[in-house]
Each structure stands twice: as structure tokens, then as C-alpha cells.
Homo-oligomer: A and B are copies of this chain.
Amino acid sequence: MPKPIAGPEIERLIQLLARLPGLGPRSARRAALQLVKRREQLLRPLAEAMTVAAEEVRLCSNCGNIDTRDPCTICTDPNRDTAVVIVVEDVSDLWALERAKALNARYHVLGGVLSPLDGVGPDDLTVARLVERVAEGGIEELVIAVNATVEGQTTAHYIIDQLADLPVRITRLAHGVPVGGELDYLDEGTLLAAMRTRTRI
């Protein structure tokens, strides 16, 4: 057992920081030291931002996005196309599509994908609420933007089944060569899909 070199408060700060994705034990120590050195510019503001987030962040009851408002900023944005809803697995996917300015529409965050092995069934996702939203009317197109994994595709099929009786156009993201990608490094499935859906230039 190592000797104590600082009070338990600092040790605890380091241990908690080390649990953030992207920070290991060494970088957690560096981060803790930086925080303590920049108390007024960084440590105190971050402590306050986290306290506010812990108190006020919630899931949007409409779309499953996280925000300090419910309904969330996106669901209440008057400048978005309300007829199109993009279905994503996770909030991080929503953020990625927003960064890409992919489509000025609304979202539906599933909160995961169907995965029997991990014990994730339909009731663990927000599929029922999605069906409800479509049934309420006003949504003309649903863009299924789940990951191109087996679980993602299974989830997509399940959603399509659930929506079979409702008059909504269902689309999915195109498969193809990533922009800036090299053919040589791509898997055969992607190349085949890209060739089949080739477009005229």
C-alpha cells in the first residue's frame, strides 16, 4: 500500500477523473494538478457546470435527447423541418449528425440497440414512443440512422415492423465509400454497396 502523499480529497478527485473516457490514471493526475493550479479559471467553473448539469440535465420526453429543457432545444426549435425525424441509437450520433449539418430535422434517440445477449429488449429502447410520435401524425419521413452493425440493422428491422401500419416513408443512410477514404482499405461489403448504388457524374 502506497503512503499517503496528499489528502484523501485530492486522491478522490484523481480517481473520479480517471473514470472519464479518454483519461487514464496518469492523465487524470495531470488533469487534477492542472485543475488545482487553475482554480478560478477552470476548477471552480467546472465544478459549477457539473453541479448544474447534475441538477438540471434530463431526457427529452419527446425524443430522448439530453438537455436542460424538456421538450429539448431541438424539439422546440421552430426553424427545423418537423416532417422528418432521424432515428439514432445514441445522443452522440445526434451530435455527430448535427456537426455534419446533415439535415435540418428533428431526432428520435433510441437509447441503444436491440441486443439479446446484453439483455437489451424493445422495452429498454424508446421504440414505443417513436411509434406514438408517428401515429400522432405530421411525420412524413423517418430516416433510420442507426449504426451499420448487426444489432443496428436488427433494430432497424424491428422498428420498420412496428411502423408497418402507419403511413410514413422510411429511409436509411446511404452505404458507400467514406469521403477521403481509400478503396484499398475498405471492406468488400462497403465496396459492393458503393458499386451497386453508383451515381452518374
Contacts and interface: CB of A to CB of B under 8 A. Distances in A.
A74 interface: yes
B50 A13 contact: yes
Nearest to A99: B2
Chain A contact patch, size range: 35 or more
Interface of A: prevailing SS:
helix
- Assembly of this chain: how many copies? 2
Contacts of A52: 9, 13
Interface of A: 2-7, 9-10, 12-13, 16-17, 19-23, 27, 29-36, 39, 42-47, 49-54, 56-57, 65-69, 72-74, 77, 79, 90-92, 94-95, 98-99, 101, 104
8 contacts: A3-B79, A9-B53, A20-B31, A20-B42, A22-B22, A22-B27, A47-B47, A47-B54
The 5 A-B pairs at the shortest CB distance, nearest first, are namely: A47-B50, A22-B27, A7-B68, A13-B49, A47-B51
